[in-house]
Amino acid sequence: MSDVGTKRRESMLKRIEVADVRLGMFIHKLEGPWLKHPFWRNKFLLTDPATLADLKASEVEVVLIDLDKGGDILSSGTQASARRRPLVSTSHSAVASTANSAAQNMADRIRLERMRTLQPQAHDPSNVIPFDPRAAKTLSTAREVDQAKGVLVRSNRVLASVFEQARLGKAISVGQIEPVIEDLFSSIQRNPHAFNGLMRIRRENSALYAHGLAVSALMIALARQMHLDVERAKEAGMAGLLMDVGMGHLPIDVATILDDLTEAEMEIVKTHTTLGHEFLIMGGEFSDEVTRVCLEHHERCDGSGYPRQLTGEEIGLFSKMAAICDTYDSMTSDRPHRPRIDPNTALEMMRGMEGLFDEKILDQFIESVGVYPIGSVVRLTTGRLALVVDQNTADYTRPRVWAFFDVNGRRVIKPEDIDLLASKGRVEIICSDDAAAYGVENFPAIREMVFNSACKVM
């Protein structure tokens, strides 16, 4: 390329902050180390809202955009220009600057219109028809994860408002919750592992409603595994979503406690079961089975639970299901006073808690999430640590994994895609493992990056 061509090419590149990135821009380069962003590619046209959300949620602060292949910062609206325009401009230079800005705006509009004209031809035809979030057609884990991200965003928006409303003592209506349950049920119907896998990988939010959302999804998946009918499965999801609503009525904020609870604090926290139960009953909107889960999800089959030390058949079916889903999500989520436990390790620990859970329901739960749930770390016969990224329904003991760490060399490696079922014994899982035991630095970022990258190529 000539010097003139090189200079022109460089002039089409623009360095902007991630906060200013918009759909329609062509990302030429993501500045910073690869571990700070969830993308394998540095160059791509940004057309997917979920990808934009991933980029803005990453630690990348600055990107280079290519104005010749995509939109400029001003082509996404006039806010940026308005932000930079002086409040008063009377000088000749200011008038010239305004004229230049207007010319640039027109050039940007022309470029954006050209891009909009060309984009439909470049799109995959399957993406032309908007996706129906209530569709039931089976999707692969990778394809459903994209939809699950949308479900997560919409649900968080609704639930943040609903749980704040409950904290203030205002009754919750079924109508407020139903859209969230419908979205969750549809996602799990399309793929039983995608949403729950996403929650295991991504969730760092300790908000009360985030835990309820995760438990709700686990409850729906478990209900389907147990062959409960559609309405019962949705009701189970609603029970899981609302079971901790009483936490908002406690005189202490559990999320701010950085150490293990004192005995006195624990006694206060235990009252959330009765507080939540009474709150939902007073509202008069929810079924007895849903409100009962508020009261009983901490009861245990051997009578060691609370608040009434119920045993065996004294505990409702949904309450037994919720006890398992609640414990699993709590163990596999980050908490202020402790890091999360690997999903497979959590299942092994729960199996060892003899007498606490209904064994038949626990077996069904393990079937619903997989022997090695998505998000689990396993050690392979090749001497690598690998992240479970998908299930093989023909054999849950041989999931699809991406190896990311060389145990012998003690180093992060370029991830390797391995379908253990297709490998036919050439590569096997030795055991579940803990990345922290090998000193893997910044593992949460690696875990999310590997999973997101796997979903883009599966």
- 150 beta partners: none
| 16 and 68 part of one domain | yes
| 423 and 339 part of one domain | no
Residue type, 284: G
Distance CA 100, CA 198 (A): 47
- 402 beta partners: 387, 417
**What pLDDT does residue 134 have?**
63
**What pLDDT does residue 297 have?**
98
**Among candidate residues 70, 88, 122, the one where a domain is terminated:** 122
Residue 133 lies in a domain: no
Q: Tokens in use for 118?
A: 């060309």
**What pLDDT does residue 90 have?**
35
| 162 and 196 part of one domain | yes
| 301 and 407 part of one domain | no
**What pLDDT does residue 204 have?**
56
Distance CA 287, CA 303 (A): 25
Strand order in the sheet with 400-406: 411-419, 400-406, 384-390, 377-380, 429-432
Distance CA 170, CA 173 (A): 10
pTM of the model: 0.71
Question: What is the domain extent for residue 430?
Answer: 377-457
**What pLDDT does residue 125 have?**
40
**What pLDDT does residue 421 have?**
94
* Residues of the chain by 3-state class (helix, strand, coil), percent to 5: 55, 10, 35
Counting Cα atoms < 13 Å in the Cβ hemisphere of 263 gives 0
**What pLDDT does residue 184 have?**
96
Distance CA 46, CA 25 (A): 6
Three-class secondary structure of residue 67 per DSSP: coil
Residue 216 lies in a domain: yes
What CATH number should be reported for the domain holding residue 235? 1.10.3210.10
**What pLDDT does residue 116 have?**
40
DSSP 57: H
DSSP 302: B
| 97 and 146 part of one domain | no
CB burial string 139-161: b at 16+ within 10 A, e below: bebbbbbbbbbbbbeebbebbee
| 167 and 293 part of one domain | yes
Distance CA 406, CA 403 (A): 8
| 182 and 287 part of one domain | yes
Listed in sequence order, the residues at least 6 apart from 303 whose beta carbon sits closer than 8 Å to its beta carbon are 309, 310, 311
Q: What is the pLDDT along the chain (458 residues), one digit of tens a residue?
A: 555 455 555 568 888 988 888 888 988 888 765 545 555 556 778 877 767 777 777 778 888 898 888 888 764 443 333 333 333 333 334 334 444 444 444 444 434 443 443 333 333 444 444 555 566 678 899 999 989 999 998 998 898 888 889 889 999 999 999 999 999 999 999 999 999 999 988 755 556 788 999 999 999 999 999 999 999 999 999 999 999 999 989 987 776 665 677 888 899 999 999 999 999 999 999 999 999 999 999 999 999 999 999 999 999 999 999 999 999 999 998 776 678 899 999 999 999 999 999 999 999 999 999 999 999 999 999 999 999 999 998 899 999 999 999 999 999 999 999 999 999 999 999 999 999 899 998 898 899 999 989 998 88
Burial of 76 (0-12, 13-18, 19+ CB in 10 A): middle
Angle at 36 between CA 32 and CA 40, to 5 degrees: 90
Residue 128 lies in a domain: no
| 263 and 305 part of one domain | yes
The domain total for the chain is: 3
Distance CA 286, CA 275 (A): 15
**What pLDDT does residue 212 have?**
92
Residue 134 lies in a domain: no
